[in-house]
Structure 1
């Protein structure tokens, strides 16, 4: 068999191995599959496949080199790019919506940090990648493919604007969600019959609440069912809303209804015990104040 034919056969087998090992292959895997080959022969074949952009070379955390099949879509997007650009692009592509930092790219590509930063600027200018600052690390740029949106865990989701928690937006949603459920309860009392019927008619699903918020047009952010349920759950914790579930075994649609509280929901710092100078003398917070403490007496305006 001619040398060229043998080389082509080896190349095809390496390509097949890359298809079998989705996580990539190493020199050792190739040698185990073709023990008759010497390392220089394998290196020559690998270099030829890299030069023709049929495979990519990545560096793992333990400095081991791994070879993977090149994605045809990626090849089209970065056709004609320099080898360093191709390597960096591939690493960013594999990070998906989680993105990746420049120093992580440097570690995986084995390129100098200055080279990585230069390549990143080139790829950004070509609109192949983009950068953003995550909520967890606002001072570090995270890179991902231009057409992808970063994972919500990195951006903070709907509650964050420019890496800052938008408390005003959350308060508005909180009020509007509660108002919708309160109005639903009022309508139920006017239409429904007995107490049980009124109670059942007072419930609204998180999907209904989401539609109401969307129809109000108070936000340009596209909210999800999970976002609305997060807001509704805070109302549950505040004692303003009651939650139930429609479906067998507690698995199904979440339902919510407004509840009437006769006293304001106290917090630890708003009840007298929170500021009482004698709190250390109580075995449990409030255990003796209900009958003796003048702070509690004054707060509840009781005559005992």
Structure 2
């Protein structure tokens, strides 16, 4: 199932260039265009990866609706242009030269597929991130590395995407964003680095929720039994406790 949604994501993600194939050379179908078709084709092609709305075409060319519609059908049949989904103008005819791929402004970015928010793909990513963090404190880079090594997705995910998913989980109160203290639960993460920890356990397993004070260093301190307000080991002199208060 994951692979299926990942393949959807593969079609969404764009490469470093908006060009998909070489521009048509001489002898291409564009050589046999009518005057109206050539005007429209040059206009559409000039918009590159942004494309153009059919209503704007009519306004910019001043061609009659009947001529525009007939010419667009001909250009589509000759595979010189294609119709694309514009998330900002859904339901409207939007056209682009076939040699270009739509920009993120048109498609909506990584989280959209065929003009719609890919809720299923996002949900799977959230579940996988939460699954990993439920086992240990982790950074976004660490989670991304785990996903790449496990090859659970066929798309090339980025750290930015994982961070967006993690922010969503923070807003859902499933995880908390904290800075590593470098010891205890955070021993695998360099001190000061931003990492993520679950705010609650899986209720389906009957495990209790973690409280808001779960990240306090006192909970993992091996000398907590010797800690007193006036003693050698004291909250007033503890550098880890001070750092936690500052955070």
Partner of 2:169: 235
Cα–Cα, structure 1 residues 244 and 79, in superposed 2: closer, same or farther, change >3 Å? farther
Please tell me whether the aligned partners of residues 144 and 159 of structure 2 are also in contact (alpha carbons under 8 angstroms). Answer: yes
Please tell me whether the aligned partners of residues 232 and 241 of structure 1 are also in contact (alpha carbons under 8 angstroms). Answer: no
The structural deviation recorded for 1:215 is 4.6
Cα–Cα, structure 1 residues 205 and 161, in superposed 2: closer, same or farther, change >3 Å? closer
Distance 2:101 2:119 in 1: 23
Please tell me whether the aligned partners of residues 243 and 255 of structure 1 are also in contact (alpha carbons under 8 angstroms). Answer: yes
Find out whether 1:258 has 2:197 as its counterpart. yes
The structural deviation recorded for 1:231 is 0.9
Runs of 5+ unmatched residues, structure 1: 1-72, 186-201, 246-253, 266-304
Runs of 5+ unmatched residues, structure 2: 1-22, 181-192, 201-208, 213-247
SS class of match (2:96): strand
Q: Which one has more relative contact order, counting CA pairs under 8 Å at least 6 apart?
A: 2
Cα–Cα, structure 1 residues 256 and 96, in superposed 2: closer, same or farther, change >3 Å? farther
| TM, length-normalised to structure 2 | 0.56
Cα–Cα, structure 1 residues 154 and 264, in superposed 2: closer, same or farther, change >3 Å? farther
Matches within 5 A, 1:196-215: 202-206=137-141, 208-215=142-149
SS class of match (1:79): helix
Matches within 5 A, 1:1-304: 76=26, 78-183=30-135, 185=136, 202-206=137-141, 208-239=142-173, 240-242=175-177, 255-261=194-200, 262=209
SS class of match (1:106): helix
The structural deviation recorded for 1:244 is 6.0
Please tell me whether the aligned partners of residues 129 and 146 of structure 1 are also in contact (alpha carbons under 8 angstroms). Answer: yes
The structural deviation recorded for 1:229 is 2.2
Larger relative helix fraction: 1
Cα–Cα, structure 1 residues 212 and 263, in superposed 2: closer, same or farther, change >3 Å? closer
SS class of match (1:140): coil
Q: Which stretches of structure 1, 4 residues or longer, exceed 6 Å deviation after superposition?
A: none
RMSD after superposition:
3.0
Higher Rg of the two aligned structures: 1
The structural deviation recorded for 1:173 is 0.6
The structural deviation recorded for 1:210 is 3.2
Distance 1:100 1:149 in 2: 13
The structural deviation recorded for 1:144 is 0.7
Distance 2:54 2:149 in 1: 42
